[in-house]
Amino acid sequence: MEKIHINNSGYEIVPAKIVSTRKMTEQEKIFELKLVHGLSLDHEPGQFVEVSILGVGEAPISVCSSPTKRDSFEICVRAVKDGRFSNAMHNLDIGDEVGIRGPFGVGFPAAKLEGYDIIMVAGGLGIAPLRSLINYIIDNRREYGKVSLLLGCKDPQSMLFADEIDLWQKRVDINFSCTVDRGAPDWKGNVGLITSLIPNVNIDPERTYAVVVGPPVMYKFVIKELLSKGIPEHQILVSLERHMKCGLGKCGHCQIHNIYCCQDGPVFSYNNIKELKGAI
Amino acid sequence: MKKPKVAFFDFACCEGCQLQVANLGEDLLDILDTIDVVEFREVMTEKWDQGYDVAVIEGSITNEHAIEKIKRIRERSKILIAYGSCATIGGVNGMKNDFELNEIEAHVYQENAKHFKTVPTMAVSQVVKVDYFVNGCPIYPPEFITVLKCALAGLPYHVPDNVVCVECKINENICMYDKGVTCLGPVTKAGCNSWCINNGNVCYGCRGMVSNPNENSAKDVLSKYNISLDLIKNKMNMYNKCRELNKNEKDKS
Amino acid sequence: MKNAILKKEKLDDFIKIMSKDEKVIAPVLKGNQSYTFTEVKSADEISLKYLPTILPPKKYFMPQHETLIEYDKRNGQKVHCVVEVEDLVIFGVHTCDLAGIQCLNMIFADRPKDMNYLIRKNRITLIGLECNSYCDEFASCALMGNHIPKGGYDLLFTDLGNYFFVEINTRKGEELIEKTNLFENADSNHQEELNKLRKLKESIFKPEVDIDKNEIPSLFKKKFESKIWEDIGERCLSCGNCTNVCPTCYCFDVLDIPDLNLKTGKRVRVWDSCQNEPFAKISGGESFREKRGDRKRHRFNRKFRYPVERYGKFFCTGCGRCSRTCMAKIDLKETIRDLIKEGN
């Protein structure tokens, strides 16, 4: 057997250095990464990268920083029980290196959304991919109509990006609301499902794009609510979570019907996936 | 960097898994480059009286003395690996659990039976927490190395929860059922690279059952090949009798 | 297009000459009516009449286990992408399996391209072997239109009694004929005999299921919620036999294998199966095809509907391996018939 070295196999990685880390909650940690040689990731909001720790493996993780921040990017990693990659990632620190492939997939069509009102709905860890769009829109705020941001999570302790949420909340150019499933003694905000926030938003359906990212169970209910507000199906965007193993539309793990989530998604407009049973 | 201290212990077993380790050949030399073996009865006489980074346990737990000993080892060990069927699932020693304990004692030890009290056979994980499992009778050496690497790197190892057929077909073996022979591959956990079948033997279920076998389907398959369910149950019990202890626990709770 | 003939008694020389320079792979009887593609050195090892091999020739195009990268992190993160290749001649590939390789070609050439596959593919010479009659009752090659050659080979052998009619389809094939110097030109009599066989085959091979092939994708779409999938799920063992033996299943897993020093190692890909329970699980623990029936339905749709929608191509070749190997007797043709029978 002969061994050929190639440099364009699709599996080559670009090393990236961890330049800062922030512990968000008991489970979630943010890593700020810088590609070597001053390379820019050049991603679109909503795209993901394959992060590799050599000897451990690779995992698809969405980029949670806006492309307007060019010299580094951020990923948010949730450590799950027995998760080989996620726990190894949490053990890394500033100065350590990981490998990056990507960015992959179809992100949020930020340019297409210009001129529209935007209503963004995020549940749980869904805030991570959505944050790339939120900050992109904030950085290009002038190009968009009214911007609403609805967030939901389990309880106040599991709130991600709490500092930033504080800032978003204070902005006059964002209509912000937030809810938790279970309150806490010092929690003054809403308690209840995220769908309960939607009726309070003033929506002009024809000129609104809704962007929904959250755990699988959330989509059905939120989309139903948005549809009832009259937002056209093609103006509802979702980002789907699947196991994108190769990122190249081959390995089959992320397949939903005839769609490869890693290449055709993870962002889809609702009209393109509503017929696909099990997609949401 | 200091090499991790690794100790090998055996309980009720044939020590065949230790033999597999001792027979690793060149790989063993690589292993010895990375770890410091402080106890290993099969190959050395020294004893170590401090903590272990990794304890590798062979054999099942069959009496009070063993229960105490394995608890002590657990306390002294950062990581505990159970290896071999006896340690991971109870193995053939579990066949004892089909009999009354006093009958067994009397049969084996005759007039000295009262000095040799015994308890139902248990897998190591039925007594103490186990961090890694290397299934098999004996262990499949490449899997042992994989698990050792995971333990040294601090990574979890997930025993494949697919049936042996997955690997067997990839190895392009002729299905034993097509040869008219009963094989436990369709319900047994993979990870052994279908070692036995590659070498012309059937699968004896030594790695334990997959967590979610399709029992109805298994019955269908058996009837297709004209095999009785009891035969399979008996075959499965050869290695897997101890799983009933868990089941009884569940029934109680 | 030039054609040639090879007298049967010269097959042995053909194999021997080729095997001097390259590995020659051919169908060989393994036992119990089971065949495998295996390296051969002479013609007498080859089974010219054979049931589809346990594994299809895809194992040479995308091996069960292949290295993608080699890494060394002792000094930064050094990574080399590698392809392990060897020159091979695969002799005696049935037209169903050639169709399977054509499916894989399409997938791995689709952007982003899979260089490991494409580089390896170019090192393989394919010599097809036409089936004059059915291999057994599990085949559905006529339904899928793969009982007749449709390209995908360098040379195609057709057994016409005491000689093989050889269609030369590529320059590579022609070179092989020139190099071995054992072939004669085909004349009009030979061509006539081939035509006669093809005519005869028309009467032997009939679509095995009573449906217009072009209607199959919409049948599967219509029957997505059918109870038949649940019933099949009840029977399925999730052993993954059907995907491993399928000539067009190409799903894989990627994993790291560190060396004992934990500093160097490789990243490999291994065959994986959508029939395995954790296949579509995400890190949060949710599995998107948790039930056996869902997984089975996914597999069938990936043969008869999704690739037709996406690539305009059926990914069932009609080889019959999945039905032949299924311990639970889940039969492909039966399933399609049941879906038809169920009506609306």
CA distance linking residue C275 with residue C282, whole number of Å? 16
Using the Cβ of C260 and the Cβ atoms of chain A, whether some distance falls under 8 Å is answered with no
* Statement: residue B151 has pLDDT above 50: yes
Q: What percent of chain A has pLDDT over 70?
A: 100
Whether B158 maps to a domain, the answer reads no
Whether B159 maps to a domain, the answer reads no
Query: Which of C226, C254, C308 best probes binding to A when mutated, by most A CB atoms within 10 angstroms?
Result: C254
pLDDT digits (tens, 9 = 90+) for B45-60: 677 778 899 999 999 9
CA distance linking residue B145 with residue B165, whole number of Å? 22
List chains touching C (3+ CB pairs under 8 A): A, B
Binary contact (A4, C82; C-beta < 8 A): yes
Q: Which of B153, B173, B196 is the last residue of a domain?
A: B153
Whether B213 maps to a domain, the answer reads yes
CATH (domain of B80): 3.40.50.700
What is the CATH code of the structural domain delimited by A117-239?
Answer: 3.40.50.80
Question: To the nearest whole angstrom, how far is the Cα of C308 from the nearest Cα of chain A?
Answer: 9
Report the pLDDT value the prediction gives residue C76, as an integer from 0 to 100.
Answer: 79
Whether B174 and B204 share a structural domain = yes
Using the Cβ of C86 and the Cβ atoms of chain A, whether some distance falls under 8 Å is answered with yes
Q: Which segment of B60-74, B176-190, C252-266 scores lowest on mean pLDDT?
A: B176-190
User: Measuring CA to CA, how many Å separate B12 from each of B17, B45, B59, B245?
Assistant: 12, 19, 5, 18
Whether B144 and B229 share a structural domain = no
Binary contact (C237, B145; C-beta < 8 A): no
Report the pLDDT value the prediction gives residue C37, as an integer from 0 to 100.
Answer: 98
Whether B89 and B170 share a structural domain = no
Using the Cβ of B223 and the Cβ atoms of chain C, whether some distance falls under 8 Å is answered with no
Q: Which segment of A232-241, B225-234, C272-281 scores lowest on mean pLDDT?
A: B225-234
Whether B32 and B140 share a structural domain = yes
Using the Cβ of C108 and the Cβ atoms of chain A, whether some distance falls under 8 Å is answered with yes
Whether B113 and B191 share a structural domain = no
Distance of CA C172 to the CA centre of its chain: 21
Mean pLDDT of C232-243: 91
Report the pLDDT value the prediction gives residue C1, as an integer from 0 to 100.
Answer: 57
* Statement: residue B221 has pLDDT above 80: no
Q: Chain B, 134-163: which have a CB under 8 Å from a chain A CB? A: 153-156, 158
A 10 A CB-CB count for B55 gives 24
* Statement: residue B204 has pLDDT above 60: yes
Question: To the nearest whole angstrom, how far is the Cα of C1 from the nearest Cα of chain A?
Answer: 34
Interstrand relation of A236-239 and A57-62 (parallel, antiparallel or unpaired): unpaired
Report the pLDDT value the prediction gives residue A82, as an integer from 0 to 100.
Answer: 85
Whether B193 and B111 share a structural domain = no
* Statement: residue B164 has pLDDT above 50: yes
What is the CATH code of the structural domain delimited by A14-104?
Answer: 2.40.30.10
Report the pLDDT value the prediction gives residue B253, as an integer from 0 to 100.
Answer: 44
Whether B22 and B101 share a structural domain = yes
Range of the domain at B184: 164-252
Whether B147 maps to a domain, the answer reads yes
Asked whether the beta carbons of C321 and C52 are under 8 A apart, the reply is yes
User: What is the pLDDT confidence band of residue A275, given thresholds at 50, 70 and 90?
Assistant: confident
Report the pLDDT value the prediction gives residue B229, as an integer from 0 to 100.
Answer: 75
- List CB contacts (< 8 A) between A249 and chain C: 110, 112
Binary contact (A3, C294; C-beta < 8 A): no
Domain limits of chain C?
3-63+83-204, 213-262+269-341
Asked whether the beta carbons of A205 and A244 are under 8 A apart, the reply is no
pLDDT digits (tens, 9 = 90+) for A76-103: 999 998 889 999 999 999 999 999 999 9
At C3, list the tokens: 């054609």
* Statement: residue B6 has pLDDT above 50: yes
Q: Domain tally for chain B?
A: 2
Report the pLDDT value the prediction gives residue B249, as an integer from 0 to 100.
Answer: 58
Using the Cβ of C227 and the Cβ atoms of chain A, whether some distance falls under 8 Å is answered with no
H helix or E strand, kind and range, residue B70 = helix B64-76
Report the pLDDT value the prediction gives residue B251, as an integer from 0 to 100.
Answer: 54
3-state secondary structure of B83: strand
pLDDT digits (tens, 9 = 90+) for C103-133: 999 999 999 999 999 999 999 999 999 999 9
CA distance linking residue A60 with residue A48, whole number of Å? 6
pLDDT digits (tens, 9 = 90+) for C89-99: 999 999 999 99
Closest listed residue to residue C141, CA positions, set C175, C102, C99: C99
User: What is the pLDDT confidence band of residue C288, given thresholds at 50, 70 and 90?
Assistant: confident
Question: To the nearest whole angstrom, how far is the Cα of C234 from the nearest Cα of chain B?
Answer: 6
Binary contact (B156, A55; C-beta < 8 A): no
Whether B128 and B213 share a structural domain = no
* Statement: residue B130 has pLDDT above 50: yes
Question: To the nearest whole angstrom, how far is the Cα of C55 from the nearest Cα of chain B?
Answer: 6
CA distance linking residue A249 with residue A260, whole number of Å? 6
Question: What's the complex ipTM?
Answer: 0.91
Q: Chain A: residue nearest C272 by CA? A: A251
Binary contact (C280, A9; C-beta < 8 A): no
Whether B172 maps to a domain, the answer reads yes
Question: To the nearest whole angstrom, how far is the Cα of B80 from the nearest Cα of chain A?
Answer: 16
User: What is the pLDDT confidence band of residue B20, given thresholds at 50, 70 and 90?
Assistant: very high
Report the pLDDT value the prediction gives residue C191, as an integer from 0 to 100.
Answer: 96
Using the Cβ of A243 and the Cβ atoms of chain C, whether some distance falls under 8 Å is answered with yes
CA distance linking residue C68 with residue C57, whole number of Å? 20
Rg (CA), chain A: 19
The 3-class secondary structure across chain A, one letter per residue, is CEEEEECCCCCCCEEEEEEEEEECCCCEEEEEEEEHHHCCCCCCCCCEEEEEECCCEEEEEEECCCCCCCCCEEEEEECCCCCHHHHHHHCCCCCCEEEEEEEECECCCCCCCCCCEEEEEEEHHHHHHHHHHHHHHHHCHHHCCCEEEEEEECCHHHCCCHHHHHHHHHCCCCEEEEEECCCCCCCCCEECCHHHHHHHCCCCHHHEEEEEECCHHHHHHHHHHHHHCCCCHHHEEEECCCCCCCCCCCCCCCEECCEEHHHHCEEEEHHHHCCCCCCC
Looking at the DSSP bridge assignments, the partners of residue C27 are: C37
CA distance linking residue A215 with residue A128, whole number of Å? 12
User: What is the pLDDT confidence band of residue B248, given thresholds at 50, 70 and 90?
Assistant: low
Q: Which of B118, B153, B188 is the last residue of a domain?
A: B153
Report the pLDDT value the prediction gives residue B232, as an integer from 0 to 100.
Answer: 79
The mean pLDDT of chain B is 89
CA distance linking residue B152 with residue B144, whole number of Å? 12
Whether B186 and B239 share a structural domain = yes
